[in-house]
Structure 1
Amino acid sequence: MTMLSVAEARTKARTRLSSSMASWAAEATSDVRVEIALKPPTEKQVLSDQAAAADWAGSWRAVEGKAGDASRLEIDWEDRTWARVGRQRVPIRLRLLTPDEVAGFVGGDAARDWRKLRDRAQLVRERFRAESNDTASIGDEDADDTEDGNSLAAAIRSQSKRILSLSDAAFVTVIDVVDWLCTRPLGSLRPRQLPIRGVDSKWFETHRSLVTALLGGIGHADAVTVLDAEPRLRLRILDSALIDTHLDDITAPISQLSRLPLSPRVVFVFENLESVLAMPEWHGAVAVHGSGYAVDGVARLQWIGDARIIYWGDLDSHGFAILNRLRSHLPEVESVLMDEATLVAHQDLWVPEPKPSTGTFAHLTGTEARALERLHAEGGVRLEQERIPWETALNRLRTAAEVETSGHLGEGTGRGVGTEHRLGEGLDDDR
C-alpha cells in the first residue's frame, strides 16, 4: 500500500525542520506551512488488506488525540464512499503551521535542537536589539525591519550550527564577549588582555567566527580588530650583504617585514617551509614561506615590487590555485617545477589528491594550464614539492635565477625565463 505512516511523516517533517530551523530561528518566524500528503488508500487497496487500512487510519486518530497545546497539529479528514466498503472517513493531509508544531510532531533530538536554537536566537535579538537600533538611529518598533536587523538575522542563520553546538556556559560567554567588544573603546588591546573570565587567545581561536559574525550583524564590525593578530611571514635572507643584521631567518608581522631596508634581486616564494629552510646562500636573494593560501601577504611587502619573484608550490590543483592567487596581485610572478615535464619525470612519486580544487584559474600560463589538465587527466594526482629530490630542485632554481640575473644587472637585453615561467614578451601563445 502507498499509505504514509506516522513514522514516514515524521521523517519528512524532520527533514524540513533540519533544513529550515536556522532561518526560522534567525527571523523569529511564527508562521510556516508544512503540509504532508498522507496518501490514503484506494477502495481496491482497502479490500486487499482491510486490517492494515484500519490500523493506518487509527494511528492518525491517535496522533490527533495526543496533540496538546504545546504540539498542536491539524489533520484533514475526508469522507470516502466506496461501493464495496461503504462510507469511510480517512485522513488525507497533515498540516503544521508553526515551527513549534513541526518540532512537537517530530520530537526527539531534532525538537530539542529547535527549542535550543530558537531560545538562543531570541536571547541574541533581545540582548543586542538596542545596539542595532542605535546604529540604525531608528525606534524600537522598526528594529526588525532595518538593515541591521536583517544583518543580525543573517549572522544568526549563518552561525546556527555553532550557536547550537555550544554548552550553555560557553554560549553565555560568547554573548558577554560580543557585548563587551561592541560597547567599549578597544585601543590596542589584544585578546589576552580582555577582562572577561575564561577568555584568552585560545578561546578566540575557537569562537572567532561566531563572535565576528555577531559583531558584524549588529553593526560593530570594526570591533573585530581586537581579534586579529597581524598575519606573519617567515623570511630567510640568503645574502647577508642585503641588510646590516646578524639575523637571516625572521618571522614577523608583514608590516614590519615590509619596512626592512631590503632590495633583493630575486624573491623565492615557496609553499613548503622545508624548502625555504633548505635554501643555501644566494647572491641578491631572499626566500619567503608563502604559507599556502595566505600567500596574499607576500604582495604587501613593499620591497618586493622591484624584484624578480619565483614561485614554487606543490604540483597539484591547490598549488596552481595558490599560484593563481599570488599572480592576481603580482602579475610578473614566475613558476618553477610546475610543468608537465616535471610531473611526468616523477610519476613514481605521485599520490592521490584528497580534495582537488575545482576553481577556474585565469592567471596561469599555457604551460601551467597544461600541467593542471594532466593532473586531472591522471585522475586527480599530486606531486608534493618536498618529494622532488633536492639537487634536482636546486638545479632548476639556479637555472631559472641565472637566466634573469644578467638582464637584472643591466648586462642583458631584458627579462627572459625558461619554458615553465611567465615571459614578458615573445611567448603570447603560451599564455
Structure 2
Amino acid sequence: MISPEEIQKQALSWWKPILQSYISGVPFFPRTIDRIGKVKSTGITGNLELLREQISRLHRHSKSNTGLGYEVKTVNQTFRRAGSQEVPDNIVFESIDDYLSFVQKKKEWKYFQQHYELLVATFASLKDWAYQHCLSLTNPDIQWADILKVCHYFVAHPRPNLYLRQLPISVHTKFIEQNTALIQSLLDFLIPGHIRHAGQQRFAERFYLRFDEPLIRVRILDMSLSVAGSLSDISIPLSDFQKIDLPIVRIFITENKMNFLTLPSVPGGIAIWSGGGFNVSYLREIEWLNGIQIYYWGDIDEHGFQILHQIRSYFAGVESLMMDKETFERFKQFAVDGGRSNAEKLDLLTGKEEEMYRKLKTMKGGNRLEQEKIPQEYVESVFRGRFR
C-alpha cells in the first residue's frame, strides 16, 4: 500500500508541470494517483492487521483529517477470508491549494506568481522563456525588478559599445556580473538579432559591450610599413587590429614569443603574436587577413599541427613554415617527449604535413621539436632563401 511519503515524492515530481500549466492556462487539477498498491485477495491473508495500520496512516495524513491535502478514494471489496472491507482505490488532489499544503510549497507558489506576472507585464514576449525556466521564478532571492531593468536597457539600446560599469542603469555593476547567466538567458529571447556570436558565452562580448580585449602584438618586419615613424613592435587591442590598413604582403604567426621576437626582416612582412598556442582563435574574425599570405610556424609536435589545422580552418591559404620532415630530421637531437593529441586525423593538413603528424603519433618518445630549439642561423637562412 502506498505511504504518505511515497505520495509526497510523486507529488513533488509534478512541481514543474504545475508551474507550466499555470503559464499555459491548461488546468492541472484534479490529479489522481492510481498506482497505490491496491489490496488483492492473495495479499490480505495473514496481513490484515498490517494492512489496516497502513490504511489508517494513509487516512491520518489525508485531507479528511488535516483539512487540506490528498483525498483517499475507497471502494468496498469482499475477500473470501476477510469478508467485506473498505479499501483505498486511488489518491486524488482536487485543487492547487490541496497540493501546495501537502508538499509545503505555498511560499514558492506565491513568489512564482508574483515574479511571473511582473515578467510578462514588462515583456509579454518572455512568456515562452518563463515556460522553459519556470523554476527560477520560484526563487525568492532573485531581484527580478532589477534584472528586468537591465533587460529593458539592452532592448532599448542593443549593441551599446560601453564598458559594463558605464551602462546608465540604476543597478550596481556587481549585480549584473553576479547575474549574467540569468540576464543572458533572457536577452537571448529578447534581442536574438543582437548576439555577436552564438558560441560566445562571455557576456560582454556576446552583447557588444566593451571589454578588456586580448592584445595582439605586432612586429614590423619591413620598416616601410611602420604605422608611426620608427615604431617596430606594438601591442594593440583586437578591435584596433581589425582596422589595420597597410600594404602588407605576408604575415607570420608563431607559437613561441621568443621566435616571434627574433624573426628576421622580410619585405612587406609583419609578425603577429596573439598569446601563443590555441589563442590563434582570436584572429578568426579579422576579415582583412583573408587577403594576405599567412605563414604559421609552430612546434613540430602533435599540438603544433593541431594549431595549424585550427588556423587553416579560419584562413584556408595558410602555409606552414619549418614544420616539415626535413627540419625535424635535421634537429631531432633536440627533440623531447611531447603531449598527445586526441585527434586521429586533421583534414586540413597537406599530404606531407599529415605524413609528419602520423609519424609523430606513432613515435614512443622524442616526438616534440620545439621551435625555439631550431638555431637562429638556420631560421635566417630559410627566410633569406624564401623571402628575399
What range describes the TM-score normalised by the shorter chain of this pair? 0.5 to 0.7
| Residue identity (%) | 15
Q: CA-to-partner distance for each residue in 1:320-354, whole Å, 9 max, x for gaps?
A: 5x8766544323456798x9x99x9626x67xx9x
Say whether residues 1:280 and 2:261 are aligned partners. Answer: yes
Give the Å deviation of 1:11. Answer: 1.9
1:19-418 correspondence runs (5 A): 20=17, 23-24=20-21, 27=24, 30-31=27-28, 35=33, 37-65=35-63, 72-96=69-93, 102-107=99-104, 112-113=107-108, 115-129=110-124, 149=125, 152-160=126-134, 167-168=141-142, 170-183=143-156, 189-200=162-173, 202-218=174-190, 222=194, 228-229=209-210, 232-241=213-222, 243-245=226-228, 246=231, 248-259=233-244, 261=246, 263=248, 265-268=250-253, 270=255, 275-276=256-257, 279-283=260-264, 284=269, 285-289=271-275, 295=281, 297-303=283-289, 305-310=291-296, 326-333=311-318, 346=337, 392-395=370-373, 409=387
Give the Å deviation of 1:37. Answer: 1.5
The 1:370–1:158 alpha-carbon spacing in structure 2 relative to 1, beyond 3 Å, is farther
Unaligned runs of 5+ in 1: 130-148, 379-387, 412-431
Unaligned runs of 5+ in 2: 196-203
Give the Å deviation of 1:126. Answer: 2.0
Q: CA-to-partner distance for each residue in 1:83-108, whole Å, 9 max, x for gaps?
A: 11122222233344766655443336
Distance across 1 between alignment mates of 2:284 and 2:218: 15
Q: CA-to-partner distance for each residue in 1:46-81, whole Å, 9 max, x for gaps?
A: 323323211221222223326878x65454433322
Distance across 1 between alignment mates of 2:278 and 2:182: 24
Please give the secondary structure, in 1, of the residue aligned with 2:62.
Answer: helix
Q: CA-to-partner distance for each residue in 1:295-316, whole Å, 9 max, x for gaps?
A: 2643325135413243869x89
**Based on CA coordinates, which of the two structures has the bigger radius of gyration?**
2
Tell me what 1:417 maps to.
Answer: none
The 1:51–1:187 alpha-carbon spacing in structure 2 relative to 1, beyond 3 Å, is same
Distance across 2 between alignment mates of 1:233 and 1:14: 48
Distance across 2 between alignment mates of 1:114 and 1:291: 51
Please give the secondary structure, in 1, of the residue aligned with 2:172.
Answer: coil
Q: CA-to-partner distance for each residue in 1:371-397, whole Å, 9 max, x for gaps?
A: 9999xxx9xxxxxxxxx98x7242479
The 1:184–1:299 alpha-carbon spacing in structure 2 relative to 1, beyond 3 Å, is closer
Distance across 2 between alignment mates of 1:25 and 1:371: 62
Structure 2 counterpart of 1:94, one-letter code = I
The 1:166–1:83 alpha-carbon spacing in structure 2 relative to 1, beyond 3 Å, is closer
TM-score (norm 2): 0.66
TM-score (norm 1): 0.61
Distance across 2 between alignment mates of 1:290 and 1:268: 9
Q: CA-to-partner distance for each residue in 1:5-45, whole Å, 9 max, x for gaps?
A: 22123223323425x46745654654265745111232333
Distance across 1 between alignment mates of 2:134 and 2:357: 40
Decide which structure has greater helix share.
1
Contact 1:67 1:73 in 2 (8 A): no
The 1:186–1:328 alpha-carbon spacing in structure 2 relative to 1, beyond 3 Å, is closer
Give the Å deviation of 1:370. Answer: 6.3
The 1:220–1:295 alpha-carbon spacing in structure 2 relative to 1, beyond 3 Å, is closer
**Aligned residues between the structures:** 353
Structure 1 counterpart of 2:246, one-letter code = P
Distance across 2 between alignment mates of 1:65 and 1:205: 46
Root-mean-square deviation (CA, aligned residues, Å) is 5.1
Distance across 2 between alignment mates of 1:112 and 1:66: 23
